[in-house]
Amino acid sequence: MADFVLPASYNENILQELLSNDNSKTFQRRVRRNDGKILWTIIDVSPIKDEENNILFFISQIQDITTIIETQIELLKFKKITDKANYGVVMTDLDGKIIYTNEAFMTMHGYNKSSDVIGTEYINYCKNEQQECFENIKQALDEEGWHETKEIWHKKIVEKFFRCYQADR
């Protein structure tokens, strides 16, 4: 803790919670290092007691979770942008099953709710003669981590077709 600058109330609040609870406690806190950098941390604190159950001292472990929190913030930004985009966005797992779709994608395909789309296979939305193209894209991603620009036409529920997918390398 000597590397961190903590307000006096910080330690008092933790101490009050520990004394009132009598058990181990986990806190998520932002702290400032001596060099001024702000870190997100998880702090696990446990009381060490004598044989009469009196607290002798506390032992703690601090874990820097700054990267995790910053990644979560960036993902939330991405989600807000894609949720409101007026173009269809879909994400699949490595097997090609849809794990995320925005409202525009659902509207383009004639669906009303995401539960109609989530868990289905992306290939089902491709024009039949282009399903092999999608499989080739999946294979290139699996083997090489990227793929060349391709155009895939999608179909609506009523079998009308439209260009929906183009990706650059």
Which CATH class name applies to 4-69? alpha beta
CATH topology of domain 85-167: Beta-Lactamase (3.30.450)
Helix (H, G, I), strand (E, B) or coil at 97: strand
User: Quick one: which of 90, 167, 147 has its CA closest to 122?
Assistant: 90
Task: Tell me the C-alpha to C-alpha distance, in Å, between residue 102 and each of 83, 127, 131.
Answer: 5, 20, 22
Q: Where in the chain is the domain with CATH 3.30.450.20?
A: 4-69, 85-167
Residue 35 tokens read as 């060099």
- Give dist(CA 36, CA 87) in Å, integer: 42
The residue among 15 and 145 whose pLDDT is bigger is 145
Answer whether 6's CB lies under 8 Å from 31's CB.
yes
- Residue partners of 5: CB distance under 8 A and separation at least 6: 31, 32, 33, 34
- Give dist(CA 118, CA 124) in Å, integer: 12
Tens of pLDDT along 58-106?
Answer: 888 989 999 999 999 999 998 999 899 888 888 888 788 999 999 988 8
Tens of pLDDT along 108-140?
Answer: 888 888 889 999 988 888 777 778 877 888 888
pLDDT at 1: 46
pLDDT at 8: 57
- Give dist(CA 66, CA 60) in Å, integer: 18
